[in-house]
Chains A and B, each alone.
Chain A
Amino acid sequence: MTAREENQLIDSILAGNQDSYAELVDHYKSFAFTIALKILNNRPEAEEASQDAFIKAFHYLKGFNRQARFSTWLYRIVFNTAVSYKRKNSRVLSSIEFHDSANEESSSLEKDDKKKFVSKAMDQLNEADRLAIQLYYIKEFSLEEVAELMGQNMNTLKVRIHRARQRLADVLMKILKEEALTL
């Protein structure tokens, strides 16, 4: 969807046509859901958080100044909503329980060895590094967009992603060597 088409839809929504909003939701739902899922590691929660973010975006739409792309603005709302869901839930669940349930869910989905090793290595990164990498590798996201999304300076984020990948490479090589030894 081009910026012009987005703006036409936004004009239509602000004029009271809610069906146009359904079109926007349909177009961006996968991106929004994927971002929330990367942060929350739990599909039902990610679905709830991304729906909530779309509802918030609808209510704040009048304040959207159109200097940035609608998608960037929306993803920032999704990011903040998912982070606040995570904070709320971490008060309820202990971090160990949360981590275990996430691993359980992902391991049942992971059939491929590569994915399993990457996931194992990713677990050894700190949360901010892991999230930066995950968002950076989502299709179509540029470094600028990830920096905007995470509210970080672009150079800081670039260094963070570089360091995280270096660490990931070292950890992964270690895991692969251990795996080779056990064969």
Chain B
Amino acid sequence: MDKITSAQDDQLLNYLDRNLAGAQLIQFEKELESSAILKNRLEELRSIHGMLISSHSILESPSPLFVNKVMKNLHSKSYSSSLSPRNGLFLLTGVMIAAGILIAMVGAGIFDQMITLDQLLPVKNYFQQSLPVVSINGNLVIKVIVGLNLVLVFIVLDRTVLKPFFQRRAGMQL
């Protein structure tokens, strides 16, 4: 054997990390004893392991005023909203435009006519029997969608603009 395989390299790293145990460990130690190449590679990896431990295991210390700064700024920012004000305003604008378009379409009478299931689904091409007469009031459906959109507008407005604003004001008064 003149070259280390990737599987053997993995075994060596597992050995260094002390992830081998029992029969696996005994078997691998025997392999190690009989192969000079494996031993050399183990030494290479061991030296890397040692260097990494010595250069990365030390914890860095922040400035002495770290805790004071955190405690001082604890109420300076609001993190209650998961939406950033910018994204919130984009979403708000988008939802308002969609609601506006729908209201304009309802106003123009586009959804005034009643649609039956037969008109909506072309089942007549496949079945002789017609579907039961259920008519869908398009106008009502769109009005419900517009209503839901408006509820969404109020929620986004509250989360991204009103709540942060009042929290900031309350923080300034403290």
Q: Which residues of A contact B (CB under 8 A)?
A: 18, 21-22, 25-26, 29-31, 33-34, 37, 43, 46-47, 50-52, 54-56, 58-60, 114-115, 117-119, 133-134, 137-139, 162, 165-166, 168-169, 172-173
Interface of B is mostly: helix
- Complex CA–CA separation, A25 to B107 (angstroms): 58
Q: Among the listed stretches B50-58, B138-146, B150-158, which one makes contact with chain A, having 4 or more residues with CB under 8 Å of it?
A: B50-58
Tally of A-B residue pairs with Cβ under 8 A?
101
Q: Which residues of B contact A37 (CB under 8 A)?
A: 60
6 smallest beta-carbon distances between A and B, as pairs: A137-B56, A59-B79, A33-B62, A30-B59, A139-B57, A54-B70
* Known contacts A114-B54, A114-B55, A33 near B74 by CB under 8 Å: no
Contact B73 A55 (CB under 8 A): yes
Query: Which of A21, A55, A114, A138 contacts B59, CB < 8 Å?
Result: A138
* Known contacts A51-B66, A139-B57, A166-B9, A114 near B51 by CB under 8 Å: yes
Contact B66 A55 (CB under 8 A): no
B45 close to A (CB within 8 Å): yes
Q: Which residues of B contact A (CB under 8 A)?
A: 6, 9-10, 13, 41, 44-45, 47-49, 51-63, 66-67, 69-71, 73-74, 76-80
- Complex CA–CA separation, A116 to B62 (angstroms): 23
Query: Which of A25, A43, A56, A137 contacts B67, CB < 8 Å?
Result: A25
